């Protein structure tokens, strides 16, 4: 009984010490968005191309060093969009807005100078622009899945894939809609 009580007390002490070692860091994150639309109810001669945009903004990262778990969140100005063509007509639809990704991050250390991380979590996107003929959703929720490298305790390089949970927009006058799926390549500097 004394051994069980002693082991339980050690576990409680370690559990209480872990939050004291938790670290919060702030930084700046930026990168490239590569978006492509996934359409429903459109004709066969409808061609989709990738749209290239950017994102930039502040971020915060909360880490528990011993466990390797953490949470990161960012407030990003982001540019997404789609490029489509049907016959001889080309159309580009831009989305400028605020992107708020919140990811649970697991880091595997490769020594004191580097680490590999896996991240996943929700993504909230708020669109600023209105386009006639297209009923874009003002707010979108998606899922982020990503991985990357942490270098020199300050630099992070990563790639994410953002999958929207609902339609990005409806095309007015039709029953067609689309989702904008986005690859992101990012660089972050943590202070």
The span from the CA of 162 to the CA of 170, in Å, is: 19
Q: Give CB contacts under 8 A, 24+ apart, made by 47-50.
A: 47/84, 47/85, 47/86, 48/82, 48/83, 48/84, 49/83, 49/84, 49/85, 50/83
Our measurement of the distance from residue 54's CA atom to the centroid of its chain's CA atoms, rounded to an integer in Å, reads 13
123-164 per-position pLDDT tens digit = 999 988 776 667 777 889 999 999 999 999 899 999 999 999
pLDDT band at residue 176 using 50, 70 and 90 as cut-offs: confident
Residue ranges of domains in the chain, CATH in brackets: 23-190 (2.40.160.20)
Query: What is the residue whose two structure tokens read 């790639």?
Result: 159
Q: How many CB atoms lie within 10 A of CB 114?
A: 14
pLDDT at 112: 73
């Amino acid at each position: 009984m004394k051994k069980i009580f002693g082991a339980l007390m050690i576990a409680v002490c370690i559990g209480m010490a872990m939050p004291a070692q938790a670290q919060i860091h702030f930084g700046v994150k930026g990168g490239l968005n590569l978006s492509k639309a996934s359409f429903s109810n459109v004709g066969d001669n409808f061609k989709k191309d990738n749209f290239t945009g950017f994102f930039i903004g502040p971020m915060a990262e909360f880490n528990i060093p011993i466990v390797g778990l953490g949470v990161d969140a960012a407030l990003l100005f982001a540019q997404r969009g789609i490029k489509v063509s049907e016959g001889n007509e080309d159309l580009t639809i831009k989305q400028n807005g605020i992107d708020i990704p919140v990811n649970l991050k697991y880091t595997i250390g490769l020594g004191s100078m580097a680490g590999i991380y896996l991240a996943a979590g929700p993504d909230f996107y708020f669109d600023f622009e209105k386009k006639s003929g297209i009923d874009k959703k003002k707010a979108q929720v998606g899922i982020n899945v990503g991985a990357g490298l942490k270098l020199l305790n300050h630099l992070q390089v990563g790639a994410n894939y953002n999958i929207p949970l609902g339609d990005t927009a409806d095309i007015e006058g039709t029953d067609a809609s689309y989702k904008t799926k986005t690859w992101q390549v990012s660089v972050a500097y943590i202070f």
